[in-house]
Amino acid sequence: MGREDEPPFSLLIEKMNRFARYAIDILNSRHISGWCFNLLRKKNPVKLRFYGDNQKLGEIVANGYREDLQSYRLHPNGLCGFEFHYPKDINVRNYNHITLYINNSKKPLYRVATDQIPIVIEGRLPNVFFMHIPKTAGTSFNTFSRSYFPREKTIIHIESEDKETYHLLEREKNYLSGHLSIQKIKKSFDVSRLDLHTIIREPYSHLHSHLRWVKRLGTDRKSGFFRKHHNTIQDTSIKLNETDLTIGDNLQVLVGNLKGIELDFFDNLQTRYFLDYRPEKVAISDFVNTKKNISLFKSIGLTEKYPQFIQNFCNIYQMENIKKPSTPLNKSSYRKLFDYDDLKVRSILAPLVEADLLLYSDIVKSYSMD
């Protein structure tokens, strides 16, 4: 879901009005976090006031550093983040609404009914590792999960952390998530004490989404987000921006010339996540070797059946499933790079999805048997 062709801010909600742009990252029974800034005076931090119905719960200044917003050049210095914790003696469900105001405005910036606020899990927490395969709804699932697990017990994008700290994080955190293949997870963590979960996506739409995401990296070559990626990916992004993939010959050349890191990104990526080794080029026979690792997972969801995956996750851990609007996070409004439903296009792309198609079919069958 997900709107994963946009920058991965893990947003629960993002909006803009006439004067301000803001986003809610996490909203639960303990705290609200996100970012907010004045569109006319971006460098001047805004004051935020929080109310439970007509009772003022507190106020803060939104001046926390958000590296992601600065990297994406949405804010000049990134000093616009906030994290508001409700008073300890407050039960949000005792109110009808939680309302957020900006500066001295009397008009609400954001209001939410309290029966739509997730209740943080109390008591003994499960040990969950979410294997985040890019462009499958993982950003949305991380946002969902972080609303239910205590903030101090979660970590996402663990691949960005020092590997030497993984053993500490495994002990300290109960919800871990990252772009790590099962090979790397098994190497660094004790999978016998972890509940493994992941989500996969229909392979042709997944490949298209990933190509489009890499292309969008190059729309702003001066951004920190573009520069922090591997040189090969930067070059691929530039190449995608200079190539019309609606022309079949161009698409054929692209597929035929992929090599090295490009293959890691685009060649049967979902199957690669389930392998105990790194093949230069994934073959259909490699799908057979995913079977043992598939069995390690407590659940494997489908992007196309995301609500069902969420409900199953809630059932496993006896969590209240807040029924929210089904608008996916990070849904791109950009036009397609090519028509992946066209049979000729599918024929060209087939070598990059042949193993993923078998994997996807296998998981779809497991859903049909439930």
Let me know whether 220 and 346 are in one domain.
Answer: yes
Residue 30's domain comprises 13-116
Q: Is the pLDDT of residue 3 over 70?
A: no
Tell me: the pLDDT tens digits for 35-80?
999 999 999 999 999 999 999 999 999 999 999 899 888 899 999 9
pLDDT band at 327 (very low <50, low <70, confident <90, very high): very low
Q: Is the pLDDT of residue 17 over 90?
A: no
pLDDT band at 222 (very low <50, low <70, confident <90, very high): confident
Q: Is the pLDDT of residue 6 over 60?
A: no
Average pLDDT, the chain: 91
Higher model confidence: residue 366 or residue 364? 364
Instruction: Please give the structure tokens belonging to residue 126.
Output: 């499960």
Token pair 């929080």: residue = 50
The answer to whether residue 72 is domain-embedded is yes
Let me know whether 77 and 101 are in one domain.
Answer: yes
Q: Residue 42: helix, strand or coil by DSSP?
A: coil
pLDDT given at position 217:
87
The answer to whether residue 361 is domain-embedded is yes
Distance, in Å, from the CA atom of 76 to the CA atom of 42, rounded to the nearest integer, reads: 7
pLDDT band at 220 (very low <50, low <70, confident <90, very high): confident
Let me know whether 98 and 195 are in one domain.
Answer: no
For 300, the enclosing helix (H) or strand (E) is strand 297-302
pTM greater than 0.85 (yes/no) = yes
Q: Is the pLDDT of residue 221 over 90?
A: no
Let me know whether 125 and 109 are in one domain.
Answer: no
Instruction: Please give the structure tokens belonging to residue 94.
Output: 């005792």
The answer to whether residue 3 is domain-embedded is no
Let me know whether 127 and 103 are in one domain.
Answer: no
pLDDT given at position 115:
95
Burial (Cβ within 10 Å: 0-12, 13-18, ≥19) of residue 91: exposed
Instruction: Please give the structure tokens belonging to residue 304.
Output: 């196309």
In sequence order, what are the residues at sequence separation of 6 or more whose Cβ sits closer than 8 angstroms to the Cβ of residue 122?
none
pLDDT given at position 224:
80
The answer to whether residue 107 is domain-embedded is yes
The answer to whether residue 7 is domain-embedded is no
In sequence order, what are the residues at sequence separation of 6 or more whose Cβ sits closer than 8 angstroms to the Cβ of residue 72?
7, 223, 224, 225
The answer to whether residue 238 is domain-embedded is yes
pLDDT given at position 334:
62
For 122, the enclosing helix (H) or strand (E) is none
Let me know whether 63 and 84 are in one domain.
Answer: yes
Which residue blocks in 56-121 are alpha helix, DSSP H?
67-71
pLDDT given at position 218:
87
In the predicted model, what is the mean pLDDT of residues 248-255? 94
Distance, in Å, from the CA atom of 172 to the CA atom of 166, rounded to the nearest integer, reads: 10
Let me know whether 106 and 128 are in one domain.
Answer: no
In the predicted model, what is the mean pLDDT of residues 189-211? 97
Q: Which of 216, 224, 69 is nearest to 134 (CA)?
A: 216
| Separation in Å, CA 335 to CA 13, 160, 206, 209 | 23, 31, 15, 11
Q: Which of 139-153, 166-180, 242-256, 310-324 has the lowest mean pLDDT?
A: 310-324
Let me know whether 102 and 212 are in one domain.
Answer: no
The answer to whether residue 342 is domain-embedded is yes
Q: Is the pLDDT of residue 329 over 70?
A: no
**With contact defined as beta carbons under 8 Å apart, do 159 and 350 qualify?**
no
Let me know whether 78 and 210 are in one domain.
Answer: no
pLDDT band at 326 (very low <50, low <70, confident <90, very high): very low
Domain count of the fold of the chain: 2
In the predicted model, what is the mean pLDDT of residues 223-227? 83
What is the dihedral angle through the alpha carbons of 55, 61, 65, 66, rounded to the nearest 10 degrees? 50
Q: Is the pLDDT of residue 158 over 80?
A: yes
Q: Which of 116, 143, 176 is the last residue of a domain?
A: 116
Helix 354-369 / helix 203-217 crossing angle, nearest 10 deg? 130
pLDDT given at position 228:
84
Q: Which of 93, 116, 139 is the last residue of a domain?
A: 116
Let me know whether 291 and 247 are in one domain.
Answer: yes
**In this structure, which amino acid lies at residue 252?**
Q
CATH number at residue 175: 3.40.50
Cβ burial 153-178 (10 Å sphere, 16+ → b, else e)? bbbbebeeeeeeebeebbeebbbbbb
The answer to whether residue 1 is domain-embedded is no
For 177, the enclosing helix (H) or strand (E) is strand 175-178
Tell me: the pLDDT tens digits for 257-272?
999 999 999 999 999 9
What's phi and psi for 190, nearest 5 deg? -90, 95
